Chain A
Amino acid sequence: MNAYEKIGRKLQEAREEAGLSQEELARKIGCTQASLSNYELGKRRLYLADLQRIGQLLGKQITYFLDDPGEREPDYPDQIQQVLEGQYLREILFEAKELPSSQRKSVLDYIRWQKDEGSKK
């Protein structure tokens, strides 16, 4: 995946997290849905003004779109391997994989709520 595809993936995640469709976000930033789709697919490079406007609308800093967590956490695959050994965790991950980003976020929120509830008992 090249740099623009990674930035586009982040943009898609942020848009879905905000609960916006491509059409809705495109309208807000003043471009066509096709242009936004190209940004998300990494087929078109985002200029600074575009990123600033999108960041403001989605409540994200510019660095959110540009940071590359894959490179920042080189031990991540090993950690994942350990986690997957826990009961049900592999199934949860595979089921969540089929969900759009916004629903994955709901699942994550539910898990965190469960943990909070558990800690109160």
Chain B
Amino acid sequence: MISFELTTEQKRAELHFVRLAKKKFYPLSLKIDSQAPGPIDPAYLAILVDEDLNALLVPEEYGGRPLDFVTLSLVMEGLGYGCAGFASLYCVTMHAVSALLIGGSHEQKAAYLPLLLGHRGGLAGCCITEEKGGSDTTRFATTANADGDNYIINGTKSPVLNAGYAAFYVVWANTGTGRGRGDINAFIVPGDAQGISIGPYHDKPGLRCAPTATVSFTNVKVHKSDMIGPPGSGYPLLVQSLDGARSLFSAICVGVAKAAFDMTTSFAKQRAIRNKPIIRNQGIGFSLADQATDICAGRLLVWRVCRMMDRNVHYTKEASMAKLFASRMASRIAGEGMLMMGQVAHTNPNLMAKFQRDAQALRLIEGTDHIQQMIISSEL
């Protein structure tokens, strides 16, 4: 029997992140969101260290204090409540860490995971998408050609979150003729490896607090021991680590939806027309009732997939269901918030407008709605 009650520790974490959102994230995120594209704001890096967030991703034997995935989803939701951009930086770090945890050797974990801990508070990046490839993860133009005991990586990945700030990148590349999935492999590449260059930061409508850039690899040399898993592992490793990342990005979507909902509800209780709060109008009240119900449903989908991750059972379809539902929901609730708050939400800088733009961007990250639908339908 599954309990849907949060533990005392989980409730405390939930409250902590709501407070953090109001005290730190909301003022900071509005400022960063309105700036020109650029590096990650130092204040965000400081929060990462102060909250010791990376420790929650790393196993104890490598210096961390990991959470189960259900509790981690509450952390992601809380961060998403504060700023979806910050939460995305953190979630991508989790994606890179999970690739190492799934397929990496003890030596690889011991060498790289501690780089994320303590005062260093490093981030990690995943280099998957290529400009010409889009969502096609079965073919990569980026190559890793064997050269004695080394591989030489050449290619360009874009967009990459945490570009320029990653202590290490997990890079998916093609080691053979480029005509089969067996040629796809993943490598750990130190962030300061010779031959890596970071392109200009991308200007984008959503997730502006999570800078993305192009990362180019020019004759980047890595040792063969930097390959994650045995030769040919890259494709199943990508599939599994993407499923995990999708599940946690779904939690961020729930956080954004909840932030938009709380703001709209608060507004609807305070704004009165003819001495009656507008929430008493059925057009507003019923819509908020639907939103509250959707948020509950989204949360349960996230908890279900995270519980499956904790039990180490197969969760591809469930991860895509959670991502599809939660990202659409966040986009819809923020959009309705814009409508209900009217003129108040249409003056910059404005959090509700940021929620809406961030929610729309979240529908693309780790696979668009259509990709999630393709995955779900393939498993029916």
Partner of A45, one of B102, B103, B184, B239: B239
Closest Cβ of chain B to A59, distance in Å, is 14
In A38-65, which residues have CB < 8 Å from any B CB? Answer: 38, 42-52, 61-65
Closest Cβ of chain B to A55, distance in Å, is 9
- Kindly supply a per-residue 1/0 record for chain B positions 228-249, scoring 1 wherever the CB is within 8 Å of any chain A CB and 0 otherwise: 0111110111011001000000
Does chain B have a CB within 8 A of A68? Answer: yes
**Is B236 a contact of A47 with CB atoms below 8 Å?**
yes
Q: Interface residue tally of chain A, by bracket?
A: 20 to 34
Q: How many Å lie between the Cα of A51 and that of B239 in the bound state?
A: 12
**Is A62 a contact of B232 with CB atoms below 8 Å?**
yes
In B214-236, which residues have CB < 8 Å from any A CB? Answer: 229-233, 235-236
**Is A68 a contact of B181 with CB atoms below 8 Å?**
yes
Does chain A have a CB within 8 A of B379? Answer: yes
Contacts of A45 in B (CB 8 A): 236, 239, 243, 314, 316, 379
Partner of B232, one of A42, A44, A66: A66
* Known A-B contacts A4-B378, A62-B182; A48 and B316 likewise in contact (beta carbons under 8 Å): no
Q: How many Å lie between the Cα of A64 and that of B237 in the bound state?
A: 16
Does chain A have a CB within 8 A of B179? Answer: yes
Partner of A66, one of B103, B181, B314, B380: B181
Q: How many Å lie between the Cα of A115 and that of B325 in the bound state?
A: 60
Contacts of B232 in A (CB 8 A): 61-63, 66-67
Q: CB-nearest residue of chain B relative to A62?
A: B232
Partner of B180, one of A42, A49, A51, A67: A67
Closest Cβ of chain A to B33, distance in Å, is 36
Q: How many Å lie between the Cα of A114 and that of B82 in the bound state?
A: 73
Q: How many Å lie between the Cα of A69 and that of B176 in the bound state?
A: 13
**Is B236 a contact of A67 with CB atoms below 8 Å?**
no
Does chain A have a CB within 8 A of B197? Answer: no
Q: CB-nearest residue of chain B relative to A64?
A: B182
**Is B231 a contact of A63 with CB atoms below 8 Å?**
yes
Partner of B236, one of A42, A48, A64, A72: A48
Q: How many residues of B contact A (CB 8 A)?
A: 26
Does chain A have a CB within 8 A of B138? Answer: yes
**Is A71 a contact of B180 with CB atoms below 8 Å?**
yes
Q: CB-nearest residue of chain B relative to A3?
A: B138
Contacts of B233 in A (CB 8 A): 48, 62
In B275-316, which residues have CB < 8 Å from any A CB? Answer: 314, 316
Chain A at the B interface: mostly helix, strand, loop or mixed?
helix
**Is B182 a contact of A67 with CB atoms below 8 Å?**
yes
Contacts of B239 in A (CB 8 A): 45-47
Does chain A have a CB within 8 A of B8? Answer: no
Contacts of A21 in B (CB 8 A): none
- Kindly supply a per-residue 1/0 record for chain B positions 179-208, scoring 1 wherever the CB is within 8 Å of any chain A CB and 0 otherwise: 111111000000000000000000000000
Q: How many Å lie between the Cα of A44 and that of B315 in the bound state?
A: 9
Contacts of A69 in B (CB 8 A): 180
Does chain B have a CB within 8 A of A106? Answer: no
Q: How many Å lie between the Cα of A45 and that of B181 in the bound state?
A: 14
Partner of A47, one of B180, B182, B231, B314: B314
Q: CB-nearest residue of chain A relative to B178?
A: A71
Partner of B179, one of A47, A51, A63, A68: A68
Does chain B have a CB within 8 A of A119? Answer: no
Partner of A48, one of B138, B177, B181, B240: B240
Across chains A and B, which 9 residue pairs bring their CB atoms closest together, nearest first?
A63-B232, A63-B182, A66-B182, A67-B182, A62-B232, A66-B181, A68-B180, A48-B236, A47-B240
Between A and B, 27 residue pairs with Cβ closer than 8 Å are: A2-B378, A3-B181, A42-B378, A44-B314, A44-B379, A45-B236, A45-B243, A45-B314, A46-B239, A47-B240, A48-B237, A49-B102, A52-B229, A52-B230, A61-B230, A61-B231, A61-B232, A62-B231, A63-B182, A65-B182, A66-B180, A66-B182, A66-B184, A66-B236, A67-B180, A68-B181, A72-B177
- Which residues of B line the A interface, CB within 8 A? 102-103, 138, 177, 179-184, 229-233, 235-237, 239-240, 243, 314, 316, 378-380
Q: A3-B235, A67-B232 are in contact. List 9 more A-B contacts (CB 8 A).
A: A45-B316, A47-B236, A52-B229, A61-B231, A63-B231, A63-B232, A66-B180, A67-B182, A72-B180
